[in-house]
Amino acid sequence: MSGGVDSSVAALLLQEEGHEVVGVTLNLWSYAGRQESYNDCCSLAVVEVARQLGLEHHFLDFGQLFEREVVDRFVQGYLDGRTPNPCIWCNARVRFPALLAAAEELGCEKVATGHHVRLAREDGLYYLLRGRDPQKDQTYFLYGLTQRELRRAIFPIGELTKEEVYKLARARALSAAERPESQDLCFIPEGDYRRFLKESAEGRIAPGEIVDTHGQVLGRHEGLPFYTIGQRQGLGLAAGRRLYVVGLDPRHNRVIVGPEEELYAAGLIATEVNWPTGRPADGGEMEAEVKIRYRSPLVRARVKPLEGDKARVMFEEPQRAVTPGQAVVFYRGERLLGGGLIWRVLRADAGAEAML
């Protein structure tokens, strides 16, 4: 429970169905200057919701695990020239393992969260399905879960739209109905990730060259973590044409720029790939729809599992600004097939790719 409307209504629905509900809030991060020791997504507002629902409630400290598995990896990802998505690691490596451990300790059979996803069971396997509200579906962030987590999971609001969730909260006069949705990362004060990285990277961020895909030096950058694929503003270049960030080269500490056509990729290689229902048995290429970032539309592609935890994804149509460090998630219809982290971009022209 976070004190937000989704987890609060999830608890409400389970209670109204007759379940014995125990609320758990994970204390994951705090920072200097706050009035309480919890961050915005684990705030003391949850105490009021638990009181309203009459729930037994516990705060559990997993700050060290969160710092190691999420925050440190977030910082290192930027130093490595990637644009990480820490919410994915948090769910797979911190939140669900911690909640399962808490369930064991408290004698609970299931773990319920306020994620906008649905769960289906078929032939003894559990499948994640996209949430009923297409604007709020969160399967993208949960592809890292396994059967161990899914068999004990419940997602009470997956069949509801966000509007319906708020309507239920208001009808029951829950305090969470008046809380705005948080859009920032929970461990970055006021969303200022540049300041956070400067303070966390301990002098490891250095300025360097901005070059085109032929290696010609066009200018200077302030540090790789402050640039991302597709960026056009803030480059400080007077090239007489529109240039975009098309690659980041941590080995030589260079930002690579090019015209918009060099932003398009034919495919990608993903690593740390997880298949929630198991790796495809034949290992052959499959047709799927994929997302290359949370807010991007689904696009048709061919996905082939590779050796180890990798997979190759080839798009039916070239895609713009494919970004290493972000997740690529595979779907068939409403069903989530798997996903991984974008490791390498496969470009049709090989321009920026050849520079890395």
Over residues 277-306, the pLDDT tens digits come to: 988 877 789 999 999 999 999 999 999 999
> Catalytic one among 41, 42, 87, 90?
90
Over residues 120-159, the pLDDT tens digits come to: 999 999 999 999 999 999 999 999 999 999 999 999 999 9
pLDDT at 186: 82
Q: What is the CATH number of the domain that holds 238?
A: 2.30.30.280
Please state the three-class secondary structure of 65-76 as a single string. Answer: HHHHHHHHHHHH
Q: Taking the model in full, what pTM does it have?
A: 0.91
Check whether residue 254 and residue 273 sit in a common domain: no
Check whether residue 92 and residue 23 sit in a common domain: yes
Check whether residue 231 and residue 271 sit in a common domain: no
Residue 292 lies in a domain: yes
Task: Give the chain's count of helices (H) and strands (E).
Answer: 10, 16
User: What is the C-alpha separation between 81 and 156, in angstroms, rounded?
Assistant: 38
Check whether residue 64 and residue 211 sit in a common domain: no
Residue 61 lies in a domain: yes
What 8-state DSSP symbol labels residue 205? -
Give the total number of structural domains in the chain.
Answer: 3
What 8-state DSSP symbol labels residue 203? T
Residue 323 lies in a domain: yes
Check whether residue 225 and residue 93 sit in a common domain: no
Q: Is 90 a known active-site residue?
A: yes
User: What is the C-alpha separation between 234 and 273, in angstroms, rounded?
Assistant: 34
Q: Could you say which of 191, 218, 250 is where a domain stops? A: 191
Residue 199 lies in a domain: no
Check whether residue 181 and residue 85 sit in a common domain: yes
Residue 135 lies in a domain: yes
Q: Which residue has the tokens 């990896």?
A: 73
Check whether residue 48 and residue 141 sit in a common domain: yes
Check whether residue 251 and residue 270 sit in a common domain: no
Check whether residue 46 and residue 187 sit in a common domain: yes
Residue 201 lies in a domain: no
Residue 196 lies in a domain: no
Check whether residue 77 and residue 117 sit in a common domain: yes
Q: What is the CATH number of the domain that holds 278?
A: 2.40.30.10
Check whether residue 105 and residue 232 sit in a common domain: no
Torsion 172-176-180-186 (CA) sign = negative
Check whether residue 235 and residue 351 sit in a common domain: no
pLDDT at 320: 96
Range of the domain at 107: 5-191
Report, as ranges of residue numbers, the positions in the chain whose pLDDT lies below 50. Answer: 33-37, 39-42, 351-352, 354-356
Torsion 14-15-16-19 (CA) sign = positive
Instruction: Give the DSSP letter string of 223-289.
Output: -GGG--TT--TT-----SS--EEEEEETTTTEEEEE-GGGGEEEEEEEEEEE-TT-S-SS---EEEE
Residue 350 lies in a domain: yes
Q: Is 186 a known active-site residue?
A: yes
> Catalytic one among 41, 42, 87, 186?
186
